[in-house]
Structures are given as C-alpha cells and as structure tokens.
Amino acid sequence: DVEGAIAQLCTAGTEVSAHYIVLEDGRIVQCVPESMRAWHAGVSAWAGEDDINSCSIGVEIVNRGHDWGYPDFPLRQIAAVIALCRGIMLRRKVPSHRVLGHSDVAPGRKK
C-alpha cells in the first residue's frame, strides 16, 4: 500500500529509498534531500558508472506495476512527474539524454 511504501522509502537505514515519490493524485512526497544519496536504483549501471544511487536523483511513481496489470498513470500524476523532473533538470543542469528509467540502469531486473 502507498502509506507502507512511503514509510519504507523514507526510513533511514533500510537501504531502499528515493528522493521523491509521486502519488496517483499528483502529490509529491520528498523522502531524501537531493544533496544526499538515496537507494533507489539498486544494483545498476549506465555509461560506465556502476553506482547510480550516488550520482542520481530517484523519483518513484506510484503504480501497482507489471505483475498486477500495470494500470495507466493518471493525468495528474503524469503532470506532477513532468513538473518535478523539469525542476530537477533546471536546478541540477541535467540534459534530457541523462533522464533515465529503471529499465535503462537495471535492464535485467526492471521492465
């Protein structure tokens, strides 16, 4: 459930976290300050970097996922993700080709 996921992703020492969680109604919960490392990518690699957690900002999007029918993302949630990512990209000067999904950094583990 969403409340349990937020509690897990915001608890220090669990080695599973994210900087942000975007809820289905468009609300955004910040769990980890952008300046700190989160544990969102797991074992991952991209462009020669094998510690994606230390060099990225993790955004988790609430959705039941592939194993439960992968429902469509609500428009409010999509709009919130876009606004959040644009803000991060502007603040951090991240070019669009460096915005990645889980399947980019952990293709054997994530769809």
In terms of DSSP H, where are the helices of 1-111? 2-9, 75-92, 102-105
Determine contact, residues 60/45, Cβ cutoff 8 Å.
Answer: no
Domains of the chain: 2-105 (3.40.80.10)
Is 12 a residue whose pLDDT tops 80? Answer: no
Decide if 15 is catalytic: no
pTM (2 d.p.): 0.88
Residue at token pair 């975007």: 22
pLDDT at 26: 97
pLDDT at 98: 93
- Which residue in 15, 24, 34, 60 is the catalytic one? 60
pLDDT at 13: 79
Is 81 a residue whose pLDDT tops 70? Answer: yes
